[in-house]
Amino acid sequence: MNFIGTELPDFQVNAYQDGDVHAVTTQDLLGHWSILFFYPADFSFVCPTELGDLADHYAAFKAQNAEIYSVSEDTEFVHQAWHERSPEVGKVAYPMLADPAGTLARHYQVLNADLGQAYRGVFILDPAGKVRSYTINDMGIGRNAEEVLRTLTAAQFVAEHGDRVCPANWHKGDATLKPGTDLVGKL
């Protein structure tokens, strides 16, 4: 299934954030850009490096009107225990969503039901809750927060400037392209 342009499902899950547990619903992801960052499991090996990397770049995501939501099949209480014990995960200030029923993982088809774990999916949603970019990696392949941030920036640019597109390795301030017959065969 292609998820580009698809909308968030109706959902409610618990989240651990800033020493507290609170509910997160579909409505909470609307009105700003959202990064749904699925990962296999708490107390694992690659996952804390990824969540720590996102935490190190959290201010940059917030500066771009984006919220990060990490998501695994663990409960909010396991998230809390991991947050309290892992130096990398202890840096996390964004909501850590608990999806033990697999509601979000099933919707975005990243759930490995045999393992009860999610593949490493990144879904970038616009303020209307529509997917504008996504990638899915196998369990052992870690991701890079700077690339997620770069992709968010490009998605925001394209959303704002619908007649322009971002070439490979584009970063904010770089030249963009305006599709047209004058470019055919010249790139």
On average, the pLDDT of the chain sits at 95
pLDDT in tens, 13-41: 999 999 999 999 999 999 999 999 999 99
Q: Is the pLDDT of residue 1 over 90?
A: no
Query: Which structural domain range is residue 20 located in?
Result: 12-143
Q: Is the pLDDT of residue 165 over 90?
A: no
Q: Is residue 156 part of a domain?
A: no
166 a catalytic residue: no
Nearest to 155 by CA among 187, 121, 123, 180: 123
From the CB of residue 130, how many other CB atoms can be counted at a distance below 10 Å? 15
**Which residue in 47, 68, 111, 124 is the catalytic one?**
47
Number of domains in the chain: 1
Q: Is the pLDDT of residue 186 over 70?
A: no
CATH of the domain at 126: 3.40.30.10
Nearest to 80 by CA among 16, 15, 13, 14: 16
Nearest to 136 by CA among 88, 71, 63: 71
- Strands 120-125 vs 117-118: parallel, antiparallel or unpaired: unpaired
Q: Is residue 165 part of a domain?
A: no
Q: Is residue 151 part of a domain?
A: no
Q: 177 falls in which pLDDT band (50, 70, 90)?
A: confident
Question: Picking from 24-38, 64-78, 88-102, 152-166, which range would have the lowest pLDDT averaged per residue?
Answer: 152-166
- pTM: predicted TM-score of the whole model, two decimal places: 0.95
Q: Based on C-alpha coordinates, what's the Rg of the chain? A: 17
Nearest to 19 by CA among 73, 75, 101, 84: 84
Residue indicated by tokens 């720590």: 52
Nearest to 5 by CA among 128, 137, 158, 109: 128
